Amino acid sequence: MTIQELRTYKRIVILGYGKEGKATELFLRTHHPSAEIGIADKNQDKNYLSTLSNYDLAIKTPGIPKKLVTIPYTTATNIFFANTPGTIIGVTGSKGKSTTASLIAHLLSRGNLDVKLVGNIGIPMLSALNDSVSKTTIFVIELSSYQLDDIQYSPHIAVITSLFPEHMNYHGSVDLYYEAKRNILKNMTSADIVVFNPRYQKLQEWVDKSKAIKHPYDALLPVNKEELLLVGEHNRDNARAAATVARLFGLDETVIAEGLKTFASLPHRLQNIGTYRDITFYDDAISTTPESTIAALSALNAVGTLMVGGENRGYNFSELAQRIVRKNIPNIILFPDSGEQIAEALQKNGFTGMLHQTNDMKQAVQFAYEHTPQHTICLLSTASPSYSVWKNFEQKGDLFQQYVKELSASQQELPCFS
């Protein structure tokens, strides 16, 4: 929705008043000062949806399902796309989108291009639409399935990192989740480009039907894997995606190489938080599906303790259990609610190690210090969403890091198994 179209509405409600909602309010007060602006947020009023009939238009935050909105609405994402003068690179995928978007922005900035990382992991999109942007500005945006569920535009360059079931509770089914993801391609033209991971057959099928120029990830990187600070094959895929985009903008291979070698993991994404009492701790709190935890296990050797479990979304944990058994991980810490299902899958696959159930992160880290063999890894990668115990994955990861550091000094007299 363009600014001119927004100005035809006199009473506008901002539906959801988090970081994006506050940026939307400022944007409206700047570009449509005569509008009557209301706020509807469940944290302020549990009956927040009952006020919608008082307004002509809602601007909906991504986390609120569209089926709940009973008046005409748009989103900050759609407003941004409609009013952006520059080039938009949209990055989506079941996993890897945050790292890939950040890495693309990192590489392009090292190429001295005018690039802005906006959205979920950058500044709010509408905050970026200021006097400093122009047709030469490149915007890199991580796009979630929530944002894509009702998007009316496509980016100039779409990057799709991976695809497997997730967020079924929001979308209602795997098919509807995939449909939302596929929307990134819906409005692409023959002048646009889709960069995609060829490992996923369904992505190949989607891309084959798109009007856009098809560009699978470039297979070769200008660095050896040992030179990357990112670990794991999935992160090397993220690096391939970013390098592919950088080459589309004509960046020199030496610039791409230096950029790849200097990019560190984002917080809570297979983040090495240090070695304490000869145990190396990795925070992979972002991994909230079995597939992403399997990727983390593939990236690491000698995992001595794995922390799994969280909100039960009905995932199948058989393949994860098989991977755990094959890697001979001796200790599994299980959080509710899916921890019970993971334990059953492990036992069916012949797991003979130690299972420990808890809903307390401090107690989990205490157990890890007591039982993780020396010179091995304790990995937080829960294969389930966080909401059964924690507010979000950030809170889960922050608590993990806090107690790893707090308890490291107090554990000196505890037994350590080697």
Q: Are 297 and 319 in contact (CB under 8 A)?
A: no
Question: Tens digit of pLDDT for each residue in 98-120?
Answer: 999 999 999 999 999 999 999 98
**pLDDT bracket for residue 416 (50, 70, 90):** very low
- All domains of the chain in start order, with CATH: 3-76 (3.40.50.720), 84-262 (3.40.1190.10), 271-410 (3.90.190.20)
Each residue's pLDDT tens digit, 210-234:
999 999 999 999 999 999 999 999 9
Mean pLDDT of 150-166: 94
DSSP letter (8 states) at residue 389: T
- The reported pLDDT for the residue numbered 120 is 85
Token pair for residue 312?
């039960």
**Alpha carbon 206 to its chain's center:** 21
Looking at residue 300, its pLDDT comes to 95
Q: Omega before 337 cis (within 30°)?
A: yes
Phi, psi of 248, deg, nearest 5: -60, -30
pTM above 0.85, yes or no: yes
Predicted confidence (pLDDT) at residue 330 exceeds the cutoff of 60 = yes
pLDDT tens, position by position, 350-388: 999 999 999 999 999 999 999 999 999 999 999 999 999
How far apart (Å, rounded) are the C-alpha atoms in residues 370 and 62?
A: 42
Strand partners, 91: 142, 159
How do strand 271-276 and strand 279-283 relate by DSSP bridges? antiparallel
Cα 155 to Cα 197: distance, rounded to the nearest angstrom = 17
Q: What percent of the chain has pLDDT over 90?
A: 91
DSSP calls for 203-262: HHHHHHT-SSEEEEPPS--SS-GGG-SS-SHHHHHHHHHHHHHHHHTT--HHHHHHHHHH
d(CA 38, CA 293): 42
Q: Which of 19, 28, 43 is nearest to 74 (CA)?
A: 28
- Stated length of the chain: 418
d(CA 181, CA 28): 28
Q: The tokens of 101 are what?
A: 């978007």
